[in-house]
Chains A and B, each alone.
Chain A
């Protein structure tokens, strides 16, 4: 069986890399007495996985970790033990248990919701947002260092129809949902950069990951 959890990457640890975040969870697990399963061989590793690599600097309230257990454990027990052994900045929001052969949660993921705020400049950005919401296509040269040209052309509108916008406490705040396709998805800053918005001071937060029908990934 495996325990599945929705966990956070809070603002204070946003600059921890994906790999280091993964290891922080692993160490957190080893600090508990949970019967986590290990692989065989010379370099045994804990059997757990974290869906979707989050960019360095991005806050998330929707990371999904799946931990294989060698013996049955209840979700409550797992949460109880792990809660106190994770670093501050990783909180558990929801959990359940599933069979080992249950497909990974992220296999069902269809939408990622983001909130991005940038310090407001002199000008209101409503025009830019309205233009974007009304546009049929928006071609963007997404940075792709591995390609010869250094970028890949994508149509931003394939991934989302509209962006919500408001000005709040001296910030321009954007909220939107990006679709996940089999061939990938977009970063939140890709969307705003394509709209011509300066993202050097952007505070990016992933609010949720949802199924196609907008259902949550896990029960709370």
Chain B
């Protein structure tokens, strides 16, 4: 921090991003192994990420291990740093990244990849893994996008696939042992050791061959390493330590509240959803555990809001009980309980009403698509009636506005499907009139452009062209020119680049490097993003965006990411893709029979749902699933 002088800090936005010293930060001056938890976006975004709160806690409670935080400096700060040759340091003990033993990036979003290169460069770490020498840190990656790590394969040394709680400590301890033994075999020696740990992927131990048409021919190990790396899974969430003493920031961050993870995974099976596939199976924390953690968190953080966090919190088996008890316990300190996502039914509105007893917040629902045909294609599993029942309950309970999330550009979409979004918005407004006798229900409709992701049923789908996306956006914009409706959509170009990287292969490394070299930073921020820059970066790398984003992929095509796996069987995804075309639904396996995705069998894990346990049921015998 010493080199960030007063005049620099006085002339950047939100200077406290760079000065640290927050409540409950872990400052370990001495440690045998020091790791930087690097989030490739600004402080306010990175500090909101639960995964790093968990890992920070687990590493720092260990003797001899230290985890520190580092975020991407915003463009104003980067200018000062480059002008004066100031390196990027961690917030805790101000280590330059090159002096850490590990620099671990989380891959949350494809458009943050150029920030990874930028942070390495500012931290004085050689960008390419092949250029790193003895004494340089190991650059590692994890997080949801690690299920296709290939576009970054040139830059990281190894990846951690799946839940990080157990495996990260194993890696750091293995490193400690290797170092104590005198670093036998040098960097290569440690990489080989690491590759023996389950869930670790070392890209340079795998060779990729391509067909002449550019598609992948095969991916083969060049060493004695597994052909497919399966993710790590924490089987019992109650059994792993949860951070009850997280760093409390000074700055207002994106999710400025306690985040209490009530379960991991979601098996509703929406066909567009990446998280729903890669975090399987569903594993709940027990109600008793959650109440105890909640109390502890309020006492330690001083926050006035606790968010019951998960991919689909309304699906928690004992939600009414949990919410009711927690709201009661939290009232004395005026701490409110909130749910980040609501299922579309009136049960959820009743819960929402209860959690709003302390603080009144908005109501957000995600029908995802406007027509029933489309909602069936994506396996959303809700009807227009469900939605109208939910808003009826909301309007009866005093809500005057509602936010609705949609996607456009989904597979098999017609103009009628797009326009049905406008009709649905109209119906919601009319329902408000029916319930309250007044007009003027405020509806915010947001439509994002669909990006096909690996390990989903839609991984074969060729994304709409930019022209087609824009046409649909305007079609909808025109249809939503209604009183009290706010329509939000964003630049279609960013969705194309996201799609290119999401299903990209190793050759994209060159394009990411070109884009970064040409000034790409914070591509996820519309004011920083330049499509022209990416077009040039791709062209200079001899690559074609349409090959990655717009091309419908062959049924038998080998995908670049299949040697890294969340355990979901390709045959299952293919069958979901077939069912989508016919508009057939697949139910949730959580409280019914197995749908054959293959995760539980492949990884030897099972669903943890306390609703089933209390009723004395067990999930019926699983079907065999082949990978």
Which residue numbers of A lie inside 8 Å of B, CB to CB? Answer: 12-13, 15-17, 19-21, 23-24, 26-31, 38, 42-46, 56-57, 85-89, 200-203
Q: List 12 A-B contacts (CB under 8 A).
A: A12-B19, A13-B19, A15-B19, A16-B250, A20-B252, A27-B23, A27-B303, A30-B302, A30-B303, A30-B333, A57-B9, A87-B248
| Docked CA distance A152–B252 (Å) | 32
Indicate if the CB atoms of A202 and B250 lie closer than 8 Å: no
A162 CB to closest chain B CB (Å) equals 26
Interchain CB contact under 8 A, B250 and A24: yes
Give chain B nearest CB distance to A18 CB in angstroms. 11
A31 touches B334 (CB 8 A): no
Q: Could you say which residues of chain A place their CB within 8 Å of the CB of B252?
A: 19-20, 23
Binds A, one of B293-301, B435-443, B521-529: B293-301
B334 interface neighbour in A44, A88, A200, A201, Cβ under 8 Å: A44
The 8 A-B residue pairs with the shortest CB-CB distance in the complex, in nearest-first order: A27-B302, A15-B15, A30-B302, A87-B23, A31-B302, A16-B250, A200-B7, A15-B16
B residues within 8 A CB of A42?
Answer: 359-360
Q: How far is the CA of A84 from the CA of B360 in the complex (A)?
A: 32
Whether, in the assembled complex, B10 has its beta carbon less than 8 Å from a beta carbon of chain A, the answer is yes
Q: Which residues of chain B are within 8 angstroms of A29 by Cβ–Cβ distance?
A: 302
CA distance A81 to B248 in the complex (A): 18
A21 touches which of B22, B250, B304 (Cβ 8 Å): B250
B620, CB-defined interface residue at 8 Å? no
| Of A28, A88, A202, the contact of B6 (CB 8 Å cutoff) | A202
Interface residues of B in 34-60 (CB under 8 A from A): none
Residues of A within 8 A of B334 (CB): 38, 44-46
Give chain A residues whose Cβ lies under 8 Å from the Cβ of B335: 30
Q: List chain A residues, Cβ under 8 A from B19.
A: 12-13, 15
B96 contacts the other chain (Cβ, under 8 Å)?
no
Apart from A15-B15, A201-B7, 6 more pairs, CB < 8 Å: A13-B16, A13-B19, A15-B18, A31-B299, A87-B21, A87-B23
The interface residues of chain B lying within 8 Å CB-to-CB of A16 are 16, 250-251
Provide the residues of chain B in CB contact with A45, threshold 8 Å: 334
- Interface secondary structure of A, over-half rule: loop
B-side contacts of A28, CB under 8 Å: 23, 302
Known contacts A27-B302, A30-B303, A203-B6; is A89 also within 8 Å of B15 by CB? Answer: no
The answer to whether B302 touches A57 (Cβ under 8 A) is no
Residue of B whose beta carbon sits closest to that of A36: B333
Residues of A within 8 A of B21 (CB): 12-13, 87-89
Q: Give Cα A76–Cα B499 distance, bound, in whole angstroms.
A: 60
In the complex, what residues of A have CB within 8 A of residue B303's CB? 27, 30
Report the nearest B residue to A200, measured CB to CB: B7
Chain B interface size, under 10 / 10 to 19 / 20 to 34 / 35 or more? 20 to 34
How far is A49 from B250 in the complex, measured between Cα atoms in Å? Answer: 18
* A109–B286 CA distance with the chains assembled, in angstroms: 54
User: Would you call B222 an interface residue if the criterion is a C-beta within 8 Å of the partner chain's C-beta atoms?
Assistant: no
CA distance A203 to B360 in the complex (A): 43
Q: Which residue of A lies closest to B4 (CB)?
A: A15
Contact in complex: B6, A201 (CB < 8 Å)? yes
B541 close to A (CB within 8 Å):
no
B300 and A31 form a contact (CB under 8 A): yes
State in angstroms the CA–CA spacing of A171 and B40 once bound together: 38
Contact B302 A26 (CB under 8 A): yes
Chain A residues within 8 Å of B10, by CB = 56-57, 200
Complex contacts, B299 vs chain A, CB 8 Å: 31
A15 to B22, CA, bound (A): 12
C-alpha spacing A85/B19, complex, angstroms: 20
CB distance from B255 to the nearest CB of A (A): 15
Interface centre among B5, B9, B298, B302 (most CB of A within 10 A): B302
Q: A193: shortest Cβ distance to chain B, in Å?
A: 13
Q: Chain B residues with Cβ under 8 A from A200's Cβ? A: 7, 10
A16 to B251: give the CA distance in the assembly, Å. Answer: 7
CB of B358 within 8 Å of the partner chain: yes
**A23 partner residues in chain B, CB cutoff 8 A:** 250, 252
Query: Cβ of B251 and Cβ of A20 under 8 Å apart?
Result: yes
**Smallest Cβ-Cβ distance to A17: which chain B residue:** B16
Contact with A along B1-13 (1 / 0, CB 8 A): 0000111011000
What separation, in Å, do the CA atoms of A46 and B304 have in the docked complex?
10
- Per the bound structure, the CA–CA distance linking A133 and B251 in Å amounts to 40
Residues of B within 8 A of A24 (CB): 23, 248, 250
| CA of A42 to CA of B398, assembled, Å | 13
In chain B between 351 and 390, which residues have their CB closer than 8 angstroms to a CB of chain A?
358-360
The interface residues of chain A lying within 8 Å CB-to-CB of B23 are 24, 27-28, 86-88
For A87, what are the chain B residues with a Cβ–Cβ distance below 8 Å?
Answer: 21-23, 248, 250
Q: Name the CB-closest residue of A to B256.
A: A23
Q: What's the least CB distance linking A34 to chain B, in Å?
A: 11
On whether the beta carbons of A20 and B250 are closer than 8 Å, the reply is: yes
| CB of A134, distance to nearest CB on chain B (Å) | 30
Instruction: Give the shortest distance, in Å, between A202 (CB) and chain B (any CB).
Output: 7
Chain B residue numbers with a CB within 8 Å of A44 are: 334, 358-359
Pick the contact of B250: A13, A30, A201 (CB < 8 A). A13
Distance in Å: Cβ of B72 to nearest Cβ of chain A: 18
Question: What residues of chain A lie closer than 8 Å to B15, measured between beta carbons?
Answer: 15, 56-57
| Contact indicator A30/B298 (Cβ below 8 Å) | yes
Per the bound structure, the CA–CA distance linking A24 and B252 in Å amounts to 10
Question: Residues of A contacting B18 with CB < 8 Å?
Answer: 15
Contact with A along B233-268 (1 / 0, CB 8 A): 000000000000000101110000000000000000
